[in-house]
Amino acid sequence: MVDPVVHIANLTIQHGKDSVLQDLNWQIFPGEQWILGGPSGTGKTTLAKAIVGQLKYEGTISFHLDNNSSLPPVVHYVSNWFQFTNLEGDRNFYYQQRYNKFAKNDTLTVFAELKHFAKDEQLAFEDVAPYLTIFGFENFKDQQLIELSSGEHKRLQLVKALWLQPQVLVIDQPYTGLDVQSRKDLNQIFDQLADKGVSLLLISNDDEQPDCINRFAEIQNGKIVLRHHSREISRGIPRKRKELPYFLQQPPKISDPTMVKMRQINISYGEKQVLKNIDWEVKAGEKWLLQGHNGSGKSTLLSLINGDHPQAYANDIHLFGKKRGSGESIWEIKEHLGIISPELHWYYDMNANVGQTIASGFFDSMSLYQKLGYEQQQKLDQVLHFFDLKDAKHKTLGSLPLGQQRLALLARTIVKHPELLILDEPCQGLDKEQSQYFNDVIDDLSKNGQTLIYVGHFQSQLPTCIDNKMVLEKGEIKSVERVIHKKETLST
């Protein structure tokens, strides 16, 4: 009889008073390639972390790895979030630091990170080259980790994992932050690894999956439930649409008919030019979709608008009727807009409770440091109710499943009813039902004159209100067009 590669017996994990996994039993045999799906909050990430020894648990988890295999006898885990440190082993970074060349960037470069990984895992450095090419990392070797976007961090994690080729590879949300072509390339590599004998466990609710996947499961009531196909895996319960809070039913206050005006924008980091000759105008009431492959310059372009990029002063940029650098403060700029991005989520204070997290949107802070006035408290209560977060108001943000964390930060974005919403991959980490719900909210807001810049790759995760589309490629504008047949023309 063949031994299972992974054998889990009577696994129980508590988070506070809540039981996340209860007497869970599961076996993964050689040749099995698994998708673990299901609604947000069922314990998928908790199980993955337990398998690789990152969480305490009751029960047993054992491995039967082949020491005679050409593959290293290793169980490797790729988390949904990349937790890098500085050279002293700390994570004391701030949100704007990745754009600020004048601040002390004391993280490793990509090249140094890969060198350390090769040494630790006894890998031949030349073997990483194909993966760097596939994920477009050839020109990133000299960049520091803090300078990478969330999509670039995800690709770096995947480069290391695929280079290692462990006997068991566990990946939490493998497609997070990846564009369409990167997803296709990744699925081909998964198929190749499976042919070599790697056992895959992919935690994912994406409709697409590599051809090699032959087993399916989800977690219900703390236990593994096997499925015959991914379409049998449970989805989150669709949310019932509610009427917007009254204050969000009113048009936002508009300070100028042209909210963003850029002329011949050029941004460079040393010899690397990130944005080249960008001309762009965003007028009040317009809804823009911003697209482009990972590393095309989208995040840098948005950072010029939200005030986070110091090179904004050296360029011809008008925001909300005022030339950038004419005496306005960063906080005066942020008064006009609400933003969410994977990077903001990464840097946010996970010890703040949900109520504090949403309320910090009134002050554009990364936690709540001020007392709310009566009107602000009323708006907070309305938004908590609208997003079904009232029961989580006093829970810390970090204690919630990733999907609920993202909803709380989305609520933070709209609580002050800004005239411009900047939503950078806002549905990253949400399941299909949560994504649909949030995009319905954006569509409802759009009816009241809301101006929008929305970054997203996938047709199924876009609002229908989009009326303009700009695509970047290698820092330059590839195309600008009016969107007529919206759903049919948005996806790239």
Does residue 412 contact residue 50 with C-beta atoms inside 8 Å? no
Fold for the domain defined by 246-489: Rossmann fold (3.40.50)
Question: Band of the pLDDT at 315, cuts 50, 70, 90?
Answer: confident
Buried b / exposed e over 181-215, threshold 16 CB at 10 Å, is ebbebbbebbeebbeeebbbbbbbbbeebbebbeb
28-70 pLDDT tens trace: 999 999 999 998 889 999 999 999 999 999 999 999 999 999 9
Q: pLDDT per residue over 418-444, tens digit each?
A: 999 999 888 876 767 778 888 888 998
| pLDDT bracket for residue 96 (50, 70, 90) | very low
Helix (H) or strand (E) holding 382: helix 374-386
Task: Sheet containing 75-78: give its strands across.
Answer: 75-78, 168-172, 199-203, 34-37, 215-220, 223-227
Same fold, 6-232 and 246-489: yes
How much is the pLDDT for 483?
84
| Angle, alpha carbons 349-252-241 (nearest 5°) | 70
Token pair of 107 as six digits: 């993280």
pLDDT, tens only, 252-270: 999 999 999 999 999 987 7
pLDDT at 456: 84
Q: How many CA atoms lie within 13 A of 311 on its CB side?
A: 18
Average pLDDT over residues 69-92: 71
Give domain limits for the chain.
6-232, 246-489
Q: Is the Cβ–Cβ distance between 301 and 339 less than 8 Å? A: no
Compute the distance between CA of residue 321 and CA of residue 258 in angstroms, rounded to an integer.
Answer: 7
pLDDT tens-digit map of 179-219? 778 888 899 999 999 999 999 999 998 888 999 999 999 99
The pLDDT score that the predictor gives to residue 247 is 93
Given a contact cutoff of 8 angstroms between Cβ atoms, the answer to whether 454 and 465 are in contact is no
Q: Residue 238 and residue 21: Cα distance in Å, rounded?
A: 24
Residue 93 confidence (pLDDT) above 60? no
> pLDDT at residue 95 above 50?
no
Other beta carbons within 10 angstroms of residue 285's beta carbon come to: 18
Q: What is the mean pLDDT of residues 214-227?
A: 96
- Rounded to two decimals, the pTM is 0.80
Q: Are 219 and 45 in contact (CB under 8 A)?
A: no
Beta-carbon contacts of residue 86 (< 8 Å; ≥ 6 apart)? 92, 93, 106, 107
Q: How far is CA 226 from CA 168, 174, 232, 399, in A?
A: 20, 21, 9, 27
Residue 417, pLDDT above cutoff 90? yes
User: What three-state secondary structure class fits 321?
Assistant: coil
Determine contact, residues 80/30, Cβ cutoff 8 Å: no
Indicate if the pLDDT at residue 330 is higher than 70.
Answer: yes
Grouping H, G, I as helix, E, B as strand and the rest as coil, residue 54 is: coil
Give me the pLDDT at residue 92, please.
43
Class for the domain spanning 6-232:
alpha beta
Residue 477 has pLDDT above 80, yes or no: yes
Residue 279 predicted with pLDDT over 90: yes
**313 has a pLDDT exceeding 80:** no
Report whether 453 contacts 282 (CB < 8 A). Answer: yes
| Confidence bin at 459 (pLDDT 50/70/90) | low
The residues, ordered by sequence, that sit 6+ positions from 299 with a Cβ below 8 Å of its Cβ are: 149, 341, 343, 424
> How far is the C-alpha of 110 from the C-alpha of 345, rounded, in Å?
22
| Per-residue model confidence as pLDDT tens digits over 350-403 | 889 999 999 999 988 877 778 899 999 999 999 999 988 999 999 999 888 777
